[in-house]
């Protein structure tokens, strides 16, 4: 049997003072999936995300990529699993927008022409063409978020994980980001999107997982899981599942 693309197996993570942020958290992401992960503040979503490419190490449990522990090859894992963090500022490393997006591909030592192509493709996909020479700190909040997405896209990851990517984005910004995610999903990238805002995105997902107190407490088709979300403090958007999208028609 083929193993899942990405799998968290009973991850436990405790912080000093005994706070158990992950309490045997397990889930699987199959290739080609679009999984939305929701949970209340402090439930462990961001801590879980940091485990998915080895930025954080579990006290027990493991993360498997194609059935192999990610600890066996962290550099390859970090190319294949791209993380877009909640705090876009923390992800900016380059002095200009173009240099920032080029940073990842340069670390892979790709040929200059390939790097330029990837930078242009990523900036186009995120609506930032023409921003090449801008200093990242002069960008608006929403533009910085797009830049953070562009930097990860340039790595062409197989799994894209985004933590509250709609924060600070206006309606067109959300619609553009959803269009980018749909396109990547169609092209075969697996997507794990962390959000409380189910109304913006759930129509795009084929699966919804809920996290509470460090555990994955529900996991299944969105229509099956939606009736449970309010018991975990997540607002259930009104209307049909198919209308839960901020992508403009």
Ligand X SMILES: Nc1ncnc2c1ncn2[C@@H]1O[C@H](COP(=O)(O)OP(=O)(O)OP(=O)(O)O)[C@@H](O)[C@H]1O
Minimum Å gap between C-beta 40 and ligand X is 7
Residues 29, 18: Cα–Cα separation, whole Å: 29
One residue of 44, 82, 142, 173 binding ligand X per CB under 6 A: 44
Nearer to ligand X, 13 or 80 (CB): 13
41 binds, among ligand X, Mg ion, none (CB under 5 to 8 A by kind): ligand X
Nearer to ligand X, 46 or 96 (CB): 46
- The helix-helix angle for 141-153 and 112-125 (nearest 10°) equals 140
46 binds Mg ion (CB under 5 A): yes
Query: 120: helix, coil or strand?
Result: helix
Structure tokens at 163: 């933590």
43 binds ligand X (CB under 6 A): yes
CB 31 within 8 A of CB 8: no
43 binds, among ligand X, Mg ion, none (CB under 5 to 8 A by kind): ligand X
45 binds ligand X (CB under 6 A): yes
Minimum Å gap between C-beta 6 and Mg ion is 19
One residue of 2, 41, 113, 242 binding ligand X per CB under 6 A: 41
15 binds ligand X (CB under 6 A): yes
One residue of 3, 42, 130, 227 binding ligand X per CB under 6 A: 42
136 binds, among ligand X, Mg ion, none (CB under 5 to 8 A by kind): none
Residues 79, 159: Cα–Cα separation, whole Å: 9
- Give the 3-state DSSP-derived string for 38-67, with helices as H, strands as E and coil as C: ECCCCCCHHHHHHHCCCCCCCCEEEEEECC
Applying the rule CB under 6 A, the residues between 142 and 171 that interact with ligand X are none
222 binds, among ligand X, Mg ion, none (CB under 5 to 8 A by kind): none
One residue of 5, 27, 39, 92 binding ligand X per CB under 6 A: 39
CB 105 within 8 A of CB 61: no
Cβ atoms within 10 Å of 69's Cβ, excluding its own: 13
Percent of the chain as helix, strand, coil, to the nearest 5: 40, 25, 35
CB 126 within 8 A of CB 153: yes
Residues in touch with ligand X (CB under 6 A):
15, 19, 21, 39, 41-47
């Amino acid at each position: 049997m083929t193993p899942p693309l990405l799998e968290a197996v009973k991850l436990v993570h405790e912080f000093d003072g005994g706070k158990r942020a992950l309490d045997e958290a397990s889930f699987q992401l199959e290739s080609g999936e679009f999984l939305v992960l929701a949970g209340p503040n402090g439930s462990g979503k961001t801590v879980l995300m940091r485990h998915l490419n080895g930025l954080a190490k579990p006290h027990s449990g493991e993360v498997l990529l194609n059935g192999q522990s990610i600890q066996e090859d962290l550099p390859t894992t970090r190319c294949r699993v791209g993380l877009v963090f909640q705090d876009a500022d923390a992800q900016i490393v380059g002095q200009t927008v173009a240099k920032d997006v080029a940073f990842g591909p340069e670390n892979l030592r790709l040929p200059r022409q390939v790097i330029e192509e990837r930078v242009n493709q990523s900036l186009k996909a995120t609506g930032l063409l023409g921003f090449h020479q801008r200093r990242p700190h002069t960008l608006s909040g929403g533009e910085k978020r797009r830049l953070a997405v562009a930097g990860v896209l340039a790595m062409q990851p197989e799994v894209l994980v985004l933590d509250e990517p709609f924060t600070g984005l206006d309606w067109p910004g959300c619609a553009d980001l959803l269009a980018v995610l749909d396109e990547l999903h169609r092209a075969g990238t697996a997507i794990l999107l962390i959000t409380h805002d189910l109304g913006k995105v759930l129509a795009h997902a084929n699966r919804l997982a809920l996290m509470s107190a460090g555990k994955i407490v529900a996991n299944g088709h969105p229509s099956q899981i939606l009736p449970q979300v309010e018991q975990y403090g997540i607002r259930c958007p009104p209307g049909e599942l198919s209308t839960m999208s901020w992508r403009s028609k």
